Structure 1
Amino acid sequence: MGKGGALSEGVVKKIVLSYTYVSTWIFLSFMVIVYNKYILDRKMYNWPYPISLTMIHMSFCSSLAYLLVRVFKAVDPVTMSWDLYLKYVVPIGLLYALSLWLSKSAYIYLSVSFIQMLKALMPVAVYTLGVLFKKEGFKSETMANMISISIGVGIAAYGEAKFDSWGVILQLGAVAFEATRLVMIQILLTSKGITLNPITSLYYVAPCCLVFLFVPWVFVEFPILRENSSFRFDYVIFGTNSMCAFALNLAVFLLVGKTSALTMNVAGVVKDWLLIAFSWSVIKDTVTAINLFGYALAFLGVAYYNHSKLQALKAKDSQKKAQMADEEAGRLLEEKEAENNGVRKNDAHN
């Protein structure tokens, strides 16, 4: 087969792999969300202990991450001193613990579909915090986009049939803590030249996250679990649930590593629509026309935000290539000039 055919095969293979990574991530993310809802919802498995469930996940993920990093050497650990860990990783672990605790707690009070609608506020929170911490430049166009997303989510909330104020507060708190965590990663770790993939992130962050969760667990859930003598730990349910959570982190590692974080954001929008459809058709959650109109408005805002990010990345990439071309041209010019100077010196000597 000719060169053009080989190139076509390579392009097709790359496209197939990209769609495989995206599909795997959507499926696992879908599974984790629905599985968590099943365990925590009082009308389903009826085990409403979000801190305990999060601690099970963190214990499982910490153990597997340790095996992958230290035993099997599948991922190289990041060189990090205790001082750096305490100053930069521990605060991120605290924010992660709070985000997971509140987000899982929201499943007790809200439908899967409405939770996904509220999660559309994530770009708003990240951008707002980025501006406040001076990691993002303020742009009136972007802020108008953020306002449109917020209005869309507000309309969706207004149309929610089973609106629960406490559940909304929990989910909004989870969004705020998760957005702060993402900005803190950018500020604290990136400024030190440290990059953590999902496996090394779990290796360093999950243990301190587990410690932070242990404190409220002792006072909030442990006394209830101790009195509930009829409860028996179901290794199949919690084992497979934890495995799904860890597999999701591996899928994130592959998706971001082989494609980009922007691809994951775009895929996340598709996943949200699928979850809304699943919540309505299978779980039988009520999804109103106002719900869908509000989320559609928010969805358009998020889609435009992702498009703007993509255009900015393309412009940055083009600028980088142009700069590299200029540097290469300058280097060649210097070499040519040096060569000409050498020829002149030889002519003068002769």
Structure 2
Amino acid sequence: MGRDSSSGSGMSESVLRKVLLSYFYVGIWIFLSFSVIVYNKYILDPKMYNWPYPISLTMIHMTFCASLAVLLVRVLRLVDLPSSPTMTRELYVSSVVPIGALYAFSLWFSNSAYIYLSVSFIQMLKALMPVAVYSISIFLNKEAFRSSTMANMLSISLGVAIAAYGEARFNTLGVVLQLGAVAFEATRLVLIQVLLSSKGITLNPITTLYYVSPCCLVFLTLPWAIVEFPMLRSTPAFHFDFLIFGTNSFCAFALNLAVFLLVGKTSALTMNVAGVVKDWLLIAFSWSVIRDTITTINLIGYGIAFLGVAFYNHVKLQALKAKEAQKKSAPNDEEARSLMEERISDGIGRKNDSQA
């Protein structure tokens, strides 16, 4: 009995440790994601730091992340640790380049929206991400059409539409930019499955930044040269603040590592659920600290969208549990089948022995 109780105690301690670690990973991701969003808003908003150059900010992030990723990859190679999968030129051009292009436009449009929209309203618009991912997955034949899921997607869209109707600082350009960012990011997520996962290529955040960041820089160069470079050249009084942009870029790099840590140690579904908590925290922060106006209609609309996203995550969780249960039952069925075959063979053997 003593052995059983100690075994149960050890098991409960192990479960408790895993739960606490999961909360720790979630906390780190929420903190870093929260910090990057608020920091970007602070830099880009004309009423705050007033540096409204989203393409330039994105390029600073990509330059910092690419430089640090190259350094880390070379260090890993020096100590003979696995650093990156084999990447041929053909695979890079056919898979990484389109993903990098979509990532560049997603970041550009997303950062641009902070100039025109409040943090709270941007988070409400981001609730459309499951709708965009599901729609693009159907279009690319990666997921089957289900009327129940589509009804769920329509409820999320309705909630976001109500939130947009009640927005006090509605800006058409800002909404178009944020919806464009959602569309580019959703397409990127689906293409990662189509172009990389289907070929057995998995990239951790360091190797992702190692391959994707230079590609992002290339795709951002042309719009930067046309849109922002002339404006930057006409403001010679600007002095690059290494503390502001350095810490901002480091937060962006750390967030990429935190995403990998959270998904690797828990699951992508956990990150989706944590993302809902982060959105509510950002809405509360936007209202209480930044003093953004949040109307009752805003909250009703986002509440409807929130319930739709929560139900979507619940359905995904049930499907995941069913899949895991099926995997666990398969070996048991195989074991029962082999045991039955052994018993039948033993019975035949005994029958032959008695006949002899």
- Provide TM-score, normalisation by structure 2: 0.93
Contact 2:22 2:265 (8 Å CA) reproduced: yes
What is the CA–CA distance in structure 1 between the aligned matches of 2:262 and 2:105, rounded to whole Å? 25
User: Which of 31, 37, 41 is 2:35 aligned to?
Assistant: 31
Q: 1:294 to 1:75 in 2, by over 3 A?
A: farther
Q: Which moved more, 1:319-328 or 1:82-91?
A: 319-328
**Deviation digits for residues 37-77 of structure 1 (CA, Å, limit 9, x no counterpart):** 00000010000000010001011111111222221356520
* Aligned pairs, number: 347
Opposite residue 263 of structure 1, the aligned amino acid is T
CA-based RMSD: 2.0
Given that 2:84 and 2:203 are in contact with CA atoms closer than 8 Å, whether structure 1 keeps it comes out as no
Distance 1:105 1:140 in 2: 35
Deviation at 1:12, TM superposition (A): 1.2
Correspondence for 1:69 = 73
Deviation of the 1:274 alpha carbon: 0.3
Letter paired with 1:235: F
| Shift of residue 332, structure 1, vs aligned partner | 5.0
Q: CA deviation at 1:198?
A: 2.1
What fraction of aligned residue pairs are identical, expressed as a percent?
72
Q: Indicate whether 1:155 and 2:159 are aligned.
A: no
Q: In structure 1, how many angstroms separate the alpha carbons of the residues matched to 2:163 and 2:278?
A: 18
Aligned-partner SS, 2:240: coil
Q: Is the 8 A contact 1:93 1:205 kept in 2?
A: yes
Provide the C-alpha distance between the structure 2 equivalents of 1:70 and 1:137, rounded to a whole number of angstroms: 42
The code of the aligned residue for 1:197 comes to N
Aligned match of 2:128: 121
Q: Which runs of 5+ in 2 are unaligned?
A: none
Q: 2:219 aligns with which of 209, 212, 215?
A: 212
Matches within 5 A, 1:85-234: 85-234=92-241
Q: Which residue of 1 aligns with 2:333?
A: 326
* 1:9 aligns to 2:13 (yes or no): yes
Q: CA deviation at 1:325?
A: 2.2
Q: Tell whether 2:274 aligns with 1:267.
A: yes
The gaps in structure 1 that reach 5 residues or longer are none
Larger mean Cα displacement after TM superposition, 325-334 or 6-15: 325-334
Matches of 1:274 and 1:40, distance apart in 2: 21
Aligned ranges 1:280-295 → 2 under 5 Å: 280-295=287-302
Q: CA deviation at 1:338?
A: 7.7
Q: Distance in 2 between matches of 1:227 and 1:60?
A: 25
Q: Which residue of 1 aligns with 2:26?
A: 22
Q: Helix, strand or coil for the counterpart of 2:167?
A: coil
Q: TM-score, normalised by structure 1?
A: 0.94
1:41 to 15, 31, 45: 45
Q: Partner of 2:85: helix, strand, or coil?
A: coil
